[in-house]
Structure 1
Amino acid sequence: MQDSIGKPVGDKPDDSTAVTRAGQSVFMSVYKTKVADECWLITITWCKNMLLHGLSVAIDGPQAETSCKVELKPWYFWRKQGSKSFLLDGKAIDVFWDLKSAKFHGETEPSSEYYVAVVCEDEVILLLGDLKKDAYRKTGCRPSLFDPILVSRKEHVFGKKKFLTRIKFHEKGRFHEISIEAKNISTDHDGVDSEMEIRIDGHLMIHVNHLQWKFRGNESIDFKKVKLEVYWDVHDWLFSPGLRHALFIINSTSPASFPARSLPSSVTSTPLSSQSGSGGSSEGFDSSGLYEFCLFLYAWKVE
């Protein structure tokens, strides 16, 4: 195993402790693509703390796993543009990036003026960013016939009472804002009760009273003809000292294929590694553009 920047990495360590200690935000997106009639998963991880922005590209093929990692530190400007090559299942993989002018606007992921491209066998199998013409010119390769599908997203976000994120319910749809807010309210008998609200685009979708009794649960909701299953575990918010996190899982599927579900056994009070595998389903999408998508949101409370 090699762990230097820009080199292939086989075994990825558990990064959850580092996330907690450094207080860094992590956004990890998993895309399903196809190479030579085989399904591959590509994981793009952006992380941010007070000192650096980091980018990691991990590719999971049908037989092996490797990754190319690039860290972007403010004083290492030359690393904001470049490429790396490695082999996966005997196939040559090239990762190209240009983040010289990337606009982050205070966020973990860039919003414009950048590209990240993954190339295999003269095809661009994944292209992120708005500088697509620059990416195709730099790689000299053609687009893949298979459009990559975003199948899961994992985020670590920090806040005091309110947490925000954005997700898509359709491959070509717009982003929707999800807000989660937990608060204490006074009761008639001078006591204190806890409640939680989950909103989508400002619309109240889930309201949990007596949160100290209902700190784990799940609920099915419908939003714009999409069936959503929402799981939550806020035990540590209520009962653990220090820096505390809650876990939310939001799973969207087309109504016709949405199965009955129970709370997954993986929903515990221990955060998953921010660098681990997808954690979400890589199947379940159809030609209509509706597809199964999982969001794993780790909300860290900072007092």
Structure 2
Amino acid sequence: MLKAKKMRDFPSCFSENGVQVSDASSSGALLSTPATTSSKTAQNIVTCVYQCKLHSSFCFIITITWTKNLMGQGLLVEIDDSRSQSFCKLEVKPSLFTKRKGYKTLEMGSSFINIFWDLSCAKFGSSPEPIENFYFAITINQELILLLGDMEKEVHKKLNHPISSSPNAVFLSKKEHIFGRKVYATTAQFCGKGQIHDILIECDTTSSSDPCLLIRIDGKIVLKVKQLQWKFRGNYTILVDGLPVEVYWDVHSWFFGKLNGNAVFLFQTCLSAEKLWGPSGHSVMSWSGSLIKDCGQSQGLGFSLVLCAWKNE
């Protein structure tokens, strides 16, 4: 699932009205995302959580939230240092996000943080998260700790870093809001720099007398749940890239909740296959709602993808 204190060649697009910076002595609720409305105009949000480690072994949790609503696109960065119990965040409002370039220096305890990016040529899909032609980087105490995007050479050139100097970052979890009527689509990378997979969730809860849930990965059906009205919650293990991935679903709100309720899908990789497979070789069928809440908080659970699926009526 970040360097020099002064970089005069990086244009700054920050002002008091466009960027909010906050510090706190306590780390607070790291994984929280901006409040979302329960209406059908709920903003599109993607939240990514990374565990980043300095060469000194000090560990930081960095949460990046990409947002898109009627006002435009925005960005929220949260950095948590559990060692010193310090926390800071930076929010870029839509009015300045449109300039697509930014740079900011922050102080958090004894750490100096630089956050900078270039999205001027970035390509976007339906998600507020950029797809390609961009970079986003963070340095702490002049050490590159997080680097996103496909413009690594440009970042290393700006920071005078050798290309072999890669940040020690682990992608812990991603939470995304997706929208549709019967079909919900997104992409995901389940391990490191592995293959990017197409995920398709198909479910018709209105016109069918016996609703069925289908999940496809790269066009192949990996999960089919019949009698969904009785099996509105459950889990099953699939294999992706040779890794066991536990798939959890909760579509209760689509049948029994509010009309504008959302279903939740969790794709959870596990470092140990024995934790997921029973003695007979079949998946261990158990439901744990708390796992969805806590995903990404434990580095021992692998990678978690949480999809909040909203119906467009």
> Under a length normalisation based on structure 1, what TM-score does the superposition of the two structures give?
0.82
Q: 2: CA distance between counterparts of 1:114 and 1:20?
A: 32
Q: From the superposition, tell whether residues 213 and 89 of structure 1 become closer, same or farther in structure 2 (CA, over 3 Å).
A: same
Match of 1:94 among 98, 114, 121: 114
The answer on 1:231 being equivalent to 2:245 is no
Quote how far apart the aligned CAs of 1:184 are. Answer: 4.5
Match of 2:92 among 64, 70, 95: 70
Q: 1: CA distance between counterparts of 2:291 and 2:272?
A: 24
User: Is the 1:81–1:98 Cα contact (8 Å) retained in structure 2?
Assistant: yes
User: Is the 1:281–1:294 Cα contact (8 Å) retained in structure 2?
Assistant: no
> Under a length normalisation based on structure 2, what TM-score does the superposition of the two structures give?
0.79
Q: From the superposition, tell whether residues 9 and 209 of structure 1 become closer, same or farther in structure 2 (CA, over 3 Å).
A: farther
Quote how far apart the aligned CAs of 1:142 are. Answer: 6.3
Q: From the superposition, tell whether residues 86 and 178 of structure 1 become closer, same or farther in structure 2 (CA, over 3 Å).
A: same
User: Is the 1:72–1:80 Cα contact (8 Å) retained in structure 2?
Assistant: no
Which residue pairs with 2:57 in the alignment?
Answer: 37
Quote how far apart the aligned CAs of 1:146 are. Answer: 4.4
Aligned CA-pair RMSD:
2.9
Which residue pairs with 1:288 in the alignment?
Answer: none
Counterpart of 1:182, as a letter, is C
Q: 2: CA distance between counterparts of 1:134 and 1:71?
A: 25
Q: From the superposition, tell whether residues 193 and 266 of structure 1 become closer, same or farther in structure 2 (CA, over 3 Å).
A: same
Which residue pairs with 2:310 in the alignment?
Answer: 300
Q: How does 1:1-303 map to 2 (within 5 A)?
A: 5-8=19-22, 10=24, 15-18=34-37, 20=39, 22-35=41-54, 36-62=56-82, 63-73=85-95, 76=96, 79-140=99-160, 146-184=167-205, 192-256=209-273, 258-259=275-276, 262-266=286-290, 279-284=295-300, 292-303=302-313
More deviation in 237-246 or 139-148? 139-148
CA deviations 1:138-162 (Å, max 9, x no partner) are 4455675543111111011111111
Q: 2: CA distance between counterparts of 1:30 and 1:44?
A: 7
Counterpart of 2:92, as a letter, is V
SS of 1:134 mapped into structure 2: helix
Identify unmatched segments of 5+ residues in structure 1. Answer: 273-277, 285-290
SS of 2:253 mapped into structure 1: helix
Quote how far apart the aligned CAs of 1:22 are. Answer: 4.1
SS of 1:15 mapped into structure 2: coil
SS of 1:17 mapped into structure 2: coil
Q: From the superposition, tell whether residues 256 and 85 of structure 1 become closer, same or farther in structure 2 (CA, over 3 Å).
A: same
Which residue pairs with 1:275 in the alignment?
Answer: none
Q: From the superposition, tell whether residues 173 and 41 of structure 1 become closer, same or farther in structure 2 (CA, over 3 Å).
A: same
Q: From the superposition, tell whether residues 50 and 78 of structure 1 become closer, same or farther in structure 2 (CA, over 3 Å).
A: closer
Q: From the superposition, tell whether residues 185 and 78 of structure 1 become closer, same or farther in structure 2 (CA, over 3 Å).
A: closer
Q: From the superposition, tell whether residues 146 and 132 of structure 1 become closer, same or farther in structure 2 (CA, over 3 Å).
A: closer
User: Is the 1:122–1:142 Cα contact (8 Å) retained in structure 2?
Assistant: no
Q: 2: CA distance between counterparts of 1:140 and 1:19?
A: 46
**Residues paired across the two proteins, number:** 282
Q: 2: CA distance between counterparts of 1:149 and 1:164?
A: 25
